[in-house]
Structure 1
């Protein structure tokens, strides 16, 4: 049995090319482009609302999908091992029955979600992000450098 396996979870973008993120500290949702997130010039991401740096900005939907996919994969691996043992011990003093294949958890697709956000330009980094309109009015932190931004139109 191989102990290594990998999974990939495609996270969809909205119509403007932004992915949904969630601050692990305050729970605020915001969006950024994948190219900005993966840019080598961006060392950390800051929450636009609280301004704190988080370890990861994975949303609950992505986490739930990852857990369901992992559980399904592990159940399949265990069942496959029992099927091998069933064939191996078919005749002899000890027999093993693998039984029915396990039922899988539903793997619900991820949606880009939360569309009530506005694109904000951050002049400090020459980048954009989508945030809630109230944050745009009251001022927010740049997700890429943490500078407080007061955009008044």
Structure 2
């Protein structure tokens, strides 16, 4: 018995993405065909499963393919056979013409209805472009590995967060008439930037448990402790790698006093930043240019850490 195969195109959503479902963890994600690596292999962004793209179909896609397949099979296989059969009957009619008895054969058939099971791809929380292979994909949550190259997207998410901070600066800089409002906005941006850096750190600690210790809990908020860990476990000296490490370290301390001491410089602050001893018991005069410079240095630090960490999680 001969076998027949048909190619059925799975539709994309309005943004060009197609849904995928992991065979193991059953979690859903989306990728954009035409971006990323030219490969038929796929990695689940949530768990360790990896396999051929054909193992990542969603149930909606399978149902759609089967419904379209029935229609295509009828049009390509069944309908031509029925046409040939009808023609053969007509030949029987022709062969008896002129005889005492005439046989007239009439064929009538209606095309069966094959309902197509259309569907919509789900909306996901985070859209990303892998900064290693340029695959565009979407996931639930925030952090994951790239489905094409397995590159950890934590650094891409971190950079995206800093870009938002920079846009906030551009927006807030238009309204600098009120110093209290300006200071509140700058404090908010500074805090958000370090929170994003801390989020990056938490994800790295999950992936590299042997490189980043469980204590202290907020390692990526404590620049002094982070410096020691990077030096010990990665042989990475961020004091020499970051262009203005002293300023970067100072801004981590500034963020700390705004979070825990209303922005007032205390003894602990000047112990760590002795050059600013003259500001003790005064509110730190945070400026727009300082926050802008800090965002640039924090981005640089992220790339420096990525350059070392990538050696261990790829």
Question: Which of the two has greater strand per residue?
Answer: 1
Say if 2:31 is the partner of 1:32.
yes
> CA shift at 1:95, angstroms?
8.8
Aligned to 1:11: 11
Q: CA deviation at 1:119?
A: 0.6
Alpha-carbon separation, structure 1, partners of 2:4 and 2:51: 31
Q: CA deviation at 1:130?
A: 0.6
1:75 is aligned to 2:78: yes
Structure 2 unaligned regions, length at least 5: 97-102, 158-198, 201-314
Gapped runs of 5+ residues in structure 1? none
Write the mapping of 1:1-153 to structure 2, written as runs, cut at 5 A.
9=9, 11-14=11-14, 16-36=15-35, 39-40=37-38, 42=39, 44-51=41-48, 52-56=50-54, 57-58=56-57, 59-73=61-75, 74-91=77-94, 98-108=107-117, 110-133=118-141, 136=142, 139-150=143-154, 152=199
- TM-score for the superposition, normalised by structure 2: 0.37
Q: Assess, with a 3 A threshold, how the Cα gap between structure 1 residues 97 and 4 changes in structure 2: closer, same or farther.
A: farther
- Normalised by the length of structure 1, the TM-score is 0.66
Query: Radius of gyration: which is bigger?
Result: 2
Q: How large is the Cα RMSD of the aligned pairs?
A: 3.5
- Size of the aligned set, in residue pairs, is 143
- Change in Cα spacing, 1:23 to 1:67, as seen in structure 2 (3 Å) is farther
Q: Tell me the distance in 1 between the aligned counterparts of 2:105 and 2:5.
A: 26
8 Å CA contact retained: 1:30, 1:129: yes
Note closer, same or farther for the CA distance 1:104–1:118 as it changes in structure 2 (3 Å cut). Answer: same
* Displacement after TM superposition at 1:65 (Å): 3.5
Distance in 1, Cα, partners of 2:105 & 2:8: 34
